[in-house]
Amino acid sequence: MLLDDDVKLGGIVAEVDEFLLNLVTKNEIVPLTLTAIILARLILLNKAAGEMDDLTKLLESVADSIDNKELDIPTNKSLH
């Protein structure tokens, strides 16, 4: 079951990536602008669902990961 879930999640990730890239390209905006729009909408969604405590924990976890450089993307040099 776990493998099926991983495959399903991988498909969702690919669809989201394509959707986001299309929005940035079609609207001729920088990724940070789109990030601000989407983040604001996700906050409203979670607030309406009564999930702000969990969203806050998630965002704090992401911030910690950034601070710890856990989300750094390797450069081409480090891939060779």
pLDDT tens string 19-76: 999 999 999 999 999 999 999 999 999 999 999 999 999 999 999 998 888 877 665 5
- Output the pTM of the full model: 0.71
Question: Is it the case that residue 17 has pLDDT exceeding 70?
Answer: yes
Residue 19's Cα: distance from chain center in Å?
Answer: 12
Residue 33's Cα: distance from chain center in Å?
Answer: 14
Q: What percent of the chain is modeled with pLDDT above 70?
A: 89
pLDDT at 70: 84
**Would the CA dihedral through 10, 60, 74, 28 be positive or negative?**
positive
